[in-house]
């Protein structure tokens, strides 16, 4: 599974990864589908990234680059072998079906009907491999009035209610400056794939996973549909405050830093107010419940904010820790890279890369005590493993040359 010329020293021998032996064909782009495949690859799946011969995955060009090398791709393409196939050509179609015959999972995010147009729909894929899991990740799902619209995670963040909730009271709805809906959908997609594989173990048959990016982020928002259904309640924008508890906000320290305070637990709320020298507020009848504390957020924010504003960040953090009250510094990425807790967890880890030397990126998503995941290599060059993968299918050198002549690879 290790690609040739991956660069760096060989990794030390590890126990077999939990998804070793699982083969995933990643046909998707930008970003939910590919990230789901990355998460599976991190725990041992053999992920084969299929890109168009003349139109590489757009993530290779997204965001900053170093020496012409796209950095986002190094993260998104890790633990994947890369091949090129033009699925719209007869040779590309036939090769994909041959790959699917020996695969466990296909992940795609074309608009509904695109694979069918190429003769690669579920009937053809399942005929090639009845145990296959076809995972379809689109903005709006495979059916319904919006199914054929173009869509991205930004539209999901708008449509699910997230943007309407985010921002200052009276201000405009606010979108996140990163792929939030796509990332949540990727987590949900990897879970959906594992669920479908568990079902296959019981039934012996594959199936289709239909993942609409507009749905997982709606689930993450919690009980808003239930509140509206039962109470007609529509939560307004509250900035950094919460309607469910207070004090809950960001506060500026004397040295110009920011900290975040949360008091979801009643005991923590009481500790915070005693710490900042306002124990009399704890005795107020309204202090006994988070929702009624939230109705008095101005009073509580003034009490906590004025105390914090008189102290440097380190003093605030130390005092809160001693009081067993919940606080965290507001970090940017520079702080993340040096934080001792992240370092202890190896959350941002160093990985050898043949083009850039050593790079640091987020580690695998969680730790398993017996069968851990790992980053075996970073994102590979476009089509770097095409010949090797096609040779594994039994294609001869003349057959691979013929596919190149056709423009299929």
Angle between helices 313-322 and 266-275 (to 10 degrees): 130
- For the annotated catalytic residues, the residue numbers are 182
Residue 74 CB: number of other CB atoms within 10 A? Answer: 22
Q: Rg for the chain (alpha carbons), in Å?
A: 25
- Residue among 338, 348, 311 at smallest CA distance from 327: 311
Separation CA 376–CA 3 (nearest Å): 9
**Phi, psi dihedral angles at 71 (to 5 degrees):** -80, -35
Per the CB < 8 A criterion, the answer to whether 218 and 141 are in contact is no
**Phi, psi dihedral angles at 192 (to 5 degrees):** -65, -40
Long-range contacts from 125-130, C-beta under 8 angstroms, 24+ separation = 125/97, 125/100, 126/206, 128/97, 128/98, 128/100, 128/101, 129/100, 129/101, 129/102, 129/103, 129/206, 130/205, 130/206
Separation CA 83–CA 389 (nearest Å): 7
């Amino acid at each position: 599974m290790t690609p040739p010329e991956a660069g760096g020293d060989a990794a030390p021998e590890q126990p077999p990864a939990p998804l070793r032996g699982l083969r995933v064909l990643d046909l998707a782009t930008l970003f939910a589908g590919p990230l789901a495949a990355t998460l599976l690859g991190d725990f041992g799946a053999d992920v084969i990234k299929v890109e168009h011969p003349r139109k590489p995955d757009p993530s290779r060009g997204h965001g900053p680059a170093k020496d012409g090398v796209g950095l986002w791709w190094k993260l998104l393409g890790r633990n994947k072998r890369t091949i090129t196939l033009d699925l719209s050509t007869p040779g590309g179609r036939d090769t994909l079906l041959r790959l699917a015959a020996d695969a466990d999972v296909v992940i795609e995010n074309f608009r509904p009907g695109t694979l069918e147009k190429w003769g690669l729909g579920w009937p053809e894929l399942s005929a090639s491999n009845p145990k296959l899991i076809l995972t379809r990740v689109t903005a709006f799902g495979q059916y319904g009035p919006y199914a054929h619209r173009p869509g991205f995670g930004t539209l999901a963040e708008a449509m699910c209610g997230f943007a309407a909730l985010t921002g200052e009271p009276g201000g405009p709805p606010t979108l996140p400056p990163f792929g939030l809906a796509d990332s949540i959908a990727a987590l949900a997609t990897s879970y959906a794939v594992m669920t479908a594989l568990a079902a296959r173990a019981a039934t012996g048959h594959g199936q289709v996973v239909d993942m609409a990016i507009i749905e997982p982020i709606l689930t993450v928002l919690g009980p808003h549909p239930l509140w509206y259904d039962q109470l007609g309640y529509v939560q307004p924008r509250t900035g950094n405050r919460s309607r469910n508890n207070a004090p809950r906000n960001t506060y500026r320290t004397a040295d110009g830093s920011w900290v975040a305070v949360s008091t979801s637990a009643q005991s923590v709320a009481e500790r915070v107010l005693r710490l900042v020298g306002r124990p009399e507020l704890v005795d107020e009848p309204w202090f006994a419940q988070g929702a009624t504390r939230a109705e008095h957020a101005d009073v509580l924010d003034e009490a906590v904010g004025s105390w914090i504003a008189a102290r440097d960040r380190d003093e605030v953090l130390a005092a809160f820790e001693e009081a067993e009250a919940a606080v965290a510094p507001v970090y940017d990425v520079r702080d993340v890279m040096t934080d001792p807790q992240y370092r202890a967890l190896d959350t941002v880890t160093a990985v050898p890369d043949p083009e850039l030397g050593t790079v640091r990126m987020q580690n695998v998503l969680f730790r398993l005590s017996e069968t851990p995941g790992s980053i075996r290599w970073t994102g590979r060059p476009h089509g770097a493993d095409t010949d090797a993968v096609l040779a594994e299918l039994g294609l001869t050198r003349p057959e691979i040359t013929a596919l190149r002549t056709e423009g299929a690879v």
